[in-house]
Amino acid sequence: MDKDQVAAVLEEIGTLLELKGENPFKTRAYHNAARTLEGLNEPLERLVAEERLSGIKGIGDALQEKITTLVTTGRLPYVEELRASVPPGLLELLQLQGLGPKKARKLHAELGVDSVASLVVACQAGRVAALEGFGEKSQSRILEAVAFRAQFASRHRLMAALAAAEPILAALREHPDVVQCSTAGSLRRWKEVIGDIDFVVSTRRPAAVLDFFVGLPGVRSVLARGETKASVTLDGEGIQADLRVVDDAEYAFALAYFTGSKEHNIVMRQRAIARGLRLNEYGLFRAKEETRDPALRIDCRTEDELYKQLGLDYVPPELREDHGEFAAAETHHLPRLIEWTELKGSLHNHSTWSDGRNAIAEIAAHAQELGLAYWAITDHSRASFQANGLDPQRLREQLKEIADLNRRFADEGSAFRLLTGVEVDILKDGLDLEDDLLAELDVVVASLHVPSGEEAENTRRLIDAAGNRQVHLLGHPTGRLLLERDAYKVNLQAVIDACAATGTWIELNANPYRLDLDWRQWQYARSKGVKCVVNCDAHRLEHFGFLRLGTGVARKGWLTRDDVINTLPLERLRKALAAKRAG
């Protein structure tokens, strides 16, 4: 096990002990140790092999032994026993907002609550309100939290769905009876949140392919299995996946149909009718009635040919939302969408100087390995104290470290450069750092981390930040966390207008929880000439991969290479950064 996996187990032990009512010092020791491991700058395996765990503050003998066992064997009997001693439903309770181990334990001890279902029953009977330390208000808050969870239980962030779909698609591709296959549905359209995953396959042997699909490793349970389709639940989050099987001659039509969106399909069907044709998932037919008769089918081997038949340029899946793609495809005005390989770097990222997991040198090495041209280090400013934000003095020290590294790259003949910067907090009355200091940095990202409840107030703060010459871009401009937290109240149109007027860029934050500015807003922003920056907001090396996710969402927002600042090579980027400051 690596340090993050071990940290997760320690975190779980702490929680289980809390549920059992153990001594708070003991439970806290586990939580703290988990945090410590996460912050380590060297591999845990090495620390264990060199018996250096004891040198780490807060890791006593008992913890050392458990960590060593986990690292070397990947298992820990202690946690397995602990898990078995706690009703599994109690852990489920902790997923409810506002319900911690202490309250869960009390509900269990006093009311026998051992699952979300039995908690709802207790609430409905008014027994939770009657419990000491709870009351009416807390009872109705619990019911709200249950409703909130249910609403999101069947929806999933795109990143998780992509990860679940990839091995299945790969397996289908390998199968000898599969002729063509693809993902379809909202996943292929790159929606930020999806209901279920859809696959389309063409084959001469539907039964063999369906058998193979429902028996794949990673399939938790089979919900339905018919002659031409099957639905399953996958391991992990329990995402549902649907597979449709068609003849190869029907493949292009099925793929287009099951890619959707419903709104897009409706217009496609109307266009067919207007041409005296009939369109459905099996074909485009010379017919006025519903049919699947191959003799009437107009041959289309690809989606491209289908769009041609209906008088349209090929519409990339990301744009199939009936958001203006038909007018553009009719007149050859669809944009040439950005490709993720066109990105040259990311302008919003963190390091160990604030809440990132990797040292700047490690980050730079990784960026160079990936062939990127630049990477900005924009750690938090001091107001984000929980994220170990930087005050002016530490920021200046960081600038020295980056200058040293850049000198080294130059000496080595590498064209790669780190950019200095900060993610400065937008506070109630201005930015968290002085303009003079900001002016010394290559890149300034301004973010609203503690919004007000008032739309006018948040809008004003963002507009003021955009009005500052030192600020290049607004970070994660809505503050939303998909399926967890709504956007703060803000008049986005006014903010976009202010960015247009001041030459301020807007981030498309590629973190799978954020993906904002939302794709629905980019057509407007683009029409106003506002540039986008697709940023990783990386807190660890694995986050570099978000660039591909973010670019997909940028495509969904109709953005081209020219609309996205971080496709510029370094020298042109520097000019663009300087332009904002010139006013």
C-beta neighbour count of 358 within 10 angstroms = 21
Question: Could you say whether residue 566 binds Zn ion (CB under 5 A)?
Answer: no
Binding Ca ion (rule: CB under 5 A), the pick from 18, 114, 192, 198 is 198
Only one of the segments 8-16, 155-163, 445-453, 460-468 lies at the binding site for Zn ion (rule: CB under 5 A); that segment is 445-453
Helix, strand, coil percentages in the chain from 3-state DSSP, rounded to 5: 50, 15, 35
The answer to the question of residue 231 lying near ligand DGT (CB under 6 A) is: no
Q: Is 194 in the site for ligand DGT (CB under 6 A)?
A: yes
Q: Which is nearer to Zn ion, 213 or 353 (CB)?
A: 353
Q: Is 266 in the site for ligand DGT (CB under 6 A)?
A: yes
Q: Which of residues 399-458 bind Ca ion (CB under 5 A)?
A: none
- Asked if residue 127 lies in contact with residue 108, where contact means CB atoms within 8 angstroms, the answer is no
The residue type at 121: V
The one among 198, 442, 507, 537 contacting ligand DGT by CB under 6 A = 198
**Cβ proximity to ligand DGT, 108 vs 156, nearer residue:** 156
Q: Which of 132, 133, 217, 262 binds ligand DGT (CB under 6 A)?
A: 262
Q: Do β-strands 197-203 and 240-246 pair in parallel, antiparallel, or remain unpaired?
A: parallel
Applying CB under 6 A, among 87, 195, 392, 545 the residue interacting with ligand DGT is 195
* Pick 31 or 229: Cβ nearer Ca ion: 229
Distances (CA, A) of 39 to 33, 34, 173, 384: 10, 9, 40, 18
Which residue stretches of 127-189 are H helix?
127-130, 135-153, 158-174, 185-188
Stretch that binds Ca ion, among 64-72, 150-158, 180-188, 461-469 (CB under 5 A): 180-188
Contact pick of 18, 114, 192, 196 for ligand DGT (by CB under 6 A): 196
In this chain, which residue has its C-beta nearest to ligand DGT? 260
Other Cβ atoms less than 10 A from the Cβ of 269: the count is: 17
One-character DSSP codes across 318-338: GGTTTSSHHHHHHTT----B-
Nearer Cβ to ligand DGT (285/374): 285
The C-alpha atoms of residue 524 and residue 492 are separated, in whole angstroms, by 10
Location of structure tokens 């380590």: 40
DSSP code of 550? H
Report the amino acid identity of residue 245.
Answer: V
Write the binding mask 415 to 434 for Zn ion: x where contact by CB under 5 A, - elsewhere: --------------------
- By CB under 6 A, what part of segment 428-447 binds ligand DGT? none
Are the C-beta atoms of 431 and 471 separated by less than 8 Å? yes
Q: Which does 447 bind (CB under 5 to 8 A by kind): ligand DGT, Zn ion, Ca ion, none?
A: Zn ion
Nearest distance from residue 241's CB to Ca ion, in Å? 8
- Tell me: does residue 182 bind ligand DGT (CB under 6 A): no
Q: How far is the CB of 474 from Zn ion (least distance, A)?
A: 11
- The answer to the question of residue 239 lying near ligand DGT (CB under 6 A) is no
Q: Phi and psi for 307 in degrees, rounded to 5?
A: -60, -40
Nearest to 417 by CA among 469, 471, 473, 360: 360
Residue type at 208?
A: A
- The single residue listed with the structure tokens 């031409």 is 228
Of positions 103, 116, 165, 185, contacts ligand DGT by CB under 6 A: 185
Task: Give the DSSP H or E segment for 256.
Answer: helix 251-259
CA angle in degrees (0–180, nearest 5) for 319-321-322: 105
Q: Which stretch binds ligand DGT (CB under 6 A): 87-95, 132-140, 185-193, 374-382?
A: 185-193
Which of 206, 260, 356, 389 contacts ligand DGT by CB under 6 A?
A: 260
Among 341, 332, 289, residue whose Cα is nearest residue 312: 332
Please list every residue from 240 through 259 that binds ligand DGT, using CB under 6 A. Answer: 257-258
Candidates 193-201, 301-309, 464-472, 473-481 — which segment interacts with ligand DGT by CB under 6 A? 193-201
CB neighbourhood size of 427 (10 A): 15
Token pair listed for 43:
């591999």
Based on the shown chain and the rule CB under 5 A, indicate whether residue 303 belongs to the binding site for Ca ion: no
Q: How many residues belong to the site for ligand DGT (CB under 6 A)?
A: 14
**Cβ closer to Zn ion: 283 or 550?**
550
Kindly state whether residue 447 participates in binding Zn ion, applying the rule CB under 5 A.
Answer: yes
CA atoms within 13 A on the CB side of 528: 22
For Zn ion, the nearest residue by Cβ is 447
Per partner kind, with CB cut-offs from 5 to 8 A, the member of ligand DGT, Zn ion, Ca ion, none near residue 261 is ligand DGT
**Residue 189 or residue 526: which is nearer to Ca ion going by CB?**
189
For Ca ion, the closer of residues 317 and 345 by Cβ is 317
Measured CA to CA, the distance from residue 351 to residue 437 in angstroms comes to 19
Q: Which is nearer to Zn ion, 27 or 447 (CB)?
A: 447
**d(C-alpha 148, C-alpha 325), whole Å:** 34
**Beta carbon nearer to ligand DGT, 185 or 475:** 185
CA-based nearest residue to 508, from 451, 565, 550, 568: 550
Residue 271 CA from chain centroid, whole number: 35
Phi, psi of 242, rounded to the nearest 5 degrees = -110, 140
Residue among 447 and 567 whose Cβ is closer to Zn ion: 447
Residues with Cβ < 8 Å from 456, sequence gap 6 or more?
A: 491
Pick the binder of Ca ion from 114, 196, 325, 423 (CB under 5 A): 196
Q: Is residue 185 at the binding interface for Ca ion, with CB under 5 A as the rule?
A: yes
> What is the rounded CA–CA span in Å between residue 72 and residue 14?
21
Q: Given the rule CB under 6 A, which residues bind ligand DGT?
A: 185-186, 191, 194-196, 198, 257-258, 260-262, 265-266
Q: Given the rule CB under 5 A, which residues bind Ca ion?
A: 185-186, 196, 198, 242
Q: Given the rule CB under 5 A, which residues bind Zn ion?
A: 447
